């Protein structure tokens, strides 16, 4: 491995506007309901009545997530046809010509990064805009963000710059796959965890 590319996501700055999601769809021509980069709306807590008034005890933030191009490629390990592979720069790709649409990779990925298209009987996922990377340009999502909440680069560099956090509620334990992801948590993260935060926009992701 010459490097491991990864994403930085600043949850503290993300509004959930989904410019990244749509930029990804446009760049990659994703029609038919396929979404590679999704924005999860996370909320915990509720409202309490205090002295006749409704008082919010709500913690909310967003998680924008594509594929984390994990160090442990559980999707690839689950693939019976070895269609999923990892480049020297850490980017995980799917070879369409080998994919048989069995969807084991989709089951294996704890981040729901892999998307099945019934029309083609193929799975697909974020490619890190690999052709852009190979031309020395950033991925489409990163440059789309109106709040400049996304970054990319060598994961070691990103960790130096942004820290070590790679999990916020309700993401899975990163030990399972070692995602190439750094998160700047939102101020309400601890509060959300305490209040049993969950994704509240399932129909959109």
Partner 1 sequence: MKAPALRKKIETSAMSRRSFLRWGALVGGSAASAGKLKRPGRGKAAGRPPAQELSSDVRIVRTGCPSHNCGGRCVLKVYVRDNKVVRIEGDDRPTDGIEDPQLRPCIRGRAYRRRQDHPDRLKYPLKRVGKRGEGRFERISWDEALDRIASEFERIKKAYGNAAFYVPYGTGSYNQVNGRQTAQRFMNLYGGSLGFYNSYSWACISAATPTVYGTGVTGNQRQDWLNAKYILMWSWNPAEMRDGTNSEYFVRKARERGARVVCIDPRMTLSAVALADEWVPIRPGTDAAMMSAMAYVMITEDLTDKDFVRTHCVGFDETQMPVGSSGAESYKDYILGRRDGVPKTPGWAEGITGVPGATIARLAREYATTKPGVLYQGYGMQRRAYGEQVVRAGCVLAAITGNVGVPGGWASGIALQAPDGGPFWLVFPTGQNPVKAVIPSFLWTEAVVRGKGMGPEDGVTGVERLETSIKCIWAVACNALINQHGNVNRTARILADEKLVEFLLVQDNFLTPTGRFADILLPVCTQFETWGLEDGWKYGDEVILMPQVVPAPFETKSDYRICADIAGRLGFEEAYTEGRDERGWTEWALDRYRRTRFPGLPTLAEMLEANRGVYSVPVTKPAVAFADFRRDPQKFPLPTPSGKIEIFSKRLHDLNKPETIPAVPKYIQEWESPFGAEAQKYPLQLVGHHYLSRVHSTLENIDWLEEAFPQRLFLNPADAAARKIRNGDPVRVWNDRGTTVVRCRVTPRIMPGVVALPQGAWWTPDAQGVDRRGSVNILSSERWTPFAFGNAQHTIMVQVAKAEGG
Taking the least distance from each CB to partner 1, the nearer of 144 and 182 is 144
Please report whether residue 136 would count as binding partner 1 according to CB under 8 A.
Answer: no
Bond from prior residue into 95 cis (ω within 30 degrees of 0): no
Say how far apart CA 78 and CA 81 lie, in whole Å.
9
b/e burial code for range 162-181 (CB count within 10 A of at least 16 → b): beebbebbebeebeebbbbb
Site string for partner 1, 4-33 (x = CB under 8 A): x-------xxxxxxxx-xxx-xxxxx-xxx
Please report whether residue 45 would count as binding partner 1 according to CB under 8 A.
Answer: yes
Say how far apart CA 27 and CA 144 lie, in whole Å.
11
Taking the least distance from each CB to partner 1, the nearer of 7 and 111 is 111
Task: Report in angstroms how near the CB of residue 108 gets to partner 1 at its nearest.
Answer: 7
Beta bridge partners of 65: 38
In the three-class reduction of DSSP (H, G, I as helix; E, B as strand; rest coil), residue 196 is classed as coil
What residues between 71 and 130 interact with partner 1 by CB under 8 A? 71-74, 76-77, 82-87, 90, 92-98, 103, 106-112, 115-119, 122, 124, 127, 129-130
Task: Report in angstroms how near the CB of residue 61 gets to partner 1 at its nearest.
Answer: 6
Taking the least distance from each CB to partner 1, the nearer of 131 and 156 is 131
- Looking at 2, 136, 164, 175, which residue binds partner 1 (CB under 8 A)? 175
CA atoms within 13 A on the CB side of 92: 27
């Amino acid at each position: 491995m010459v490097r491991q590319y990864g994403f930085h996501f600043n949850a503290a700055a993300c509004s959930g506007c989904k410019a990244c999601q749509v930029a990804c769809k446009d760049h990659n021509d994703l029609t038919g309901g396929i979404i590679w980069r999704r924005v999860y709306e996370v909320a915990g807590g509720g409202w309490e009545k205090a002295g006749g008034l409704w008082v919010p005890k709500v913690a909310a933030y967003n998680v924008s997530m594509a594929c984390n191009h994990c160090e442990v490629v559980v999707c690839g390990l689950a693939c019976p046809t070895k269609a999923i592979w990892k480049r020297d720069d850490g980017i995980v790709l799917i070879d369409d010509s080998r994919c048989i649409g069995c969807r084991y990779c989709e089951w294996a990925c704890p981040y729901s990064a892999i998307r099945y298209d019934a029309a083609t009987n193929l799975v697909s996922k974020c490619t890190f805009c690999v052709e852009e990377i190979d031309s020395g340009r950033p991925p489409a999502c990163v440059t789309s963000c109106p709040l400049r909440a996304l970054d990319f680069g060598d994961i070691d560099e990103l960790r130096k710059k942004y820290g070590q956090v790679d999990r916020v509620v309700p993401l899975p334990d990163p030990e399972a796959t070692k995602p190439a992801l750094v998160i700047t948590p939102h101020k309400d993260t601890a509060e959300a965890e305490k209040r049993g935060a969950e994704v509240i926009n399932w129909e959109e992701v």
